[in-house]
Structure 1
């Protein structure tokens, strides 16, 4: 899941036309395992000329391509760029502090339900891109150093229907706990909606897991409504833009649910307690990395602008 592999160029890399999906893996020995997921569709910057698009397609490594996985037909790129500029300029004058994340775990009929609610000072579409882009792993500092790292091996789009995109994803989780280490292959289907900025996922096959599924969604958070608008009740994005004089920042309210059940041999105490405990610890570490990542990007933007 690196939004902003090169932060300065991320928001200008507007995406439109999908590349053709391919089920073939690169055969060149110079391509590393983590660079093999060039399967599409990826979307070009609509401002790119045919020559620029041809140059992009010559690049061997998808991490270096100026392409993105979300379809800009279903959101306002100009407004997204305007919001990024607002966050760059206003956050130093009126800092936004995310509320503590709510992480709840409950077990029902053998299924573990992990529910997470948190906020981020960044527009929903930008946060969503980070969740859906298989290149976006560079913010996982403490998670990777403490528990291990994820490697995306391959992605392939199975269906594209308007804003809906169904993608098959293969990952490898490299874990290290209490001096031991190993790998867990993760094979899931992700059902995305680029317009509603929502997604659900379900396992095809995940080692050690009988059940492995979940969802996430991003909703707009009008962080300057109290300061700039007379209305304190729920309003629309158009109303917010009007009452704030176009100066109101839009953040993200993120809701996630992860449902899992270990295989029979692991779903007994005390092993099941240990697995649930690790799930909560990894989630909290992930959220902390995510927040620090966005704080760094905001600070970087401010420094770059000055």
Structure 2
């Protein structure tokens, strides 16, 4: 399944990493966590068993009562020709899994597709066409993005290297936990971390995700003037929201 398949096929991609960055894998049998290191001393920890358990909690709960994700909330502001989209949305899936939906080629990448090797911080260059349609016209706009992904705090930044019509096109997103069963299982204790939540819920509490995205874009002259600016702004907003709704739909599919 590919979240991004409707947005255009991947043309080319290049992973940019520090020189001589050789991955070294070690497994701690006592904690069931996997640690991967590379030459710049970056390290990534994740509990595969906990992720698997969270996934099963969501699948079991979905059979009893389907989870509903509200449509993305979008706030648009424009200052001196620079458009800023602030978008918030929730997904009924655990944060590490949602981050994988953004980035993992097997789960359905939203921004980029690559062969990951457990790096904590990756800088990726992607080139792809952006599909668009307006009234009876349609086509594809080529775009090259530089994406910096941080797997530790589940954040990413991206910026355009080359993009037709756009002088500015960059942004960021982050994935945060939502302890959706805390009221039912933790009584009056509001957990501050996944560890606290696991204790107070007896390991039975689901963790949902809140995604916050900030995107900035500004067309080159003369496309920054009406009516061209209206047209480009409409395409950018509609395409971004459509992709995020596809991401929400992907979380429904993995819960079923």
- The TM-score range, normalised by the shorter chain, is 0.7 to 0.9
Asked if residue 167 in structure 1 is aligned to residue 124 in structure 2, the reply is yes
In the alignment, is the contact (CA less than 8 A) between 1:103 and 1:280 conserved in 2? no
Residues 296 and 46 of structure 1: is their aligned pair in 2 closer, same or farther, counting only changes over 3 Å?
farther
Structure 1 gap segments, 5+ residues each? 6-32, 48-70, 141-149, 300-306
Residues 202 and 38 of structure 1: is their aligned pair in 2 closer, same or farther, counting only changes over 3 Å?
closer
CA distance in structure 2 between the aligned counterparts of 1:102 and 1:167, rounded to whole angstroms = 28
Deviation of 1:227 (Å): 1.2
Residues 36 and 267 of structure 1: is their aligned pair in 2 closer, same or farther, counting only changes over 3 Å?
closer
Residues 2 and 74 of structure 1: is their aligned pair in 2 closer, same or farther, counting only changes over 3 Å?
farther
**1:1-306 alignment runs, 5 A limit:** 2=2, 34=10, 37=13, 73-133=44-104, 163-231=120-188, 233-299=190-256
Structure 1-normalised TM-score? 0.66
Deviation of 1:184 (Å): 1.6
Deviation of 1:239 (Å): 1.1
CA distance in structure 2 between the aligned counterparts of 1:169 and 1:126, rounded to whole angstroms = 22
SS at match of 2:171: strand
Q: Larger relative contact order (C-alpha < 8 A, sep ≥ 6)?
A: 2
Residues 191 and 281 of structure 1: is their aligned pair in 2 closer, same or farther, counting only changes over 3 Å?
same
Bigger proportion of residues as strand:
2
Structure 2 gap segments, 5+ residues each? 18-22, 28-41
Aligned CA RMSD, in angstroms, stands at 3.5
How many corresponding residue pairs? 233
CA distance in structure 2 between the aligned counterparts of 1:253 and 1:72, rounded to whole angstroms = 24
CA distance in structure 2 between the aligned counterparts of 1:245 and 1:267, rounded to whole angstroms = 55
CA distance in structure 2 between the aligned counterparts of 1:198 and 1:87, rounded to whole angstroms = 23
Deviation of 1:280 (Å): 2.5
| Residues 67-89 of structure 1: CA deviation (Å, up to 9, x unaligned) | xxxx9933222211111011111
Structure 2-normalised TM-score? 0.77
| Residues 151-196 of structure 1: CA deviation (Å, up to 9, x unaligned) | x7x8699xx9961111111112233332223322111111110111
Deviation of 1:214 (Å): 0.3
Which stretch shows the higher mean deviation, 266-275 or 240-249?
266-275
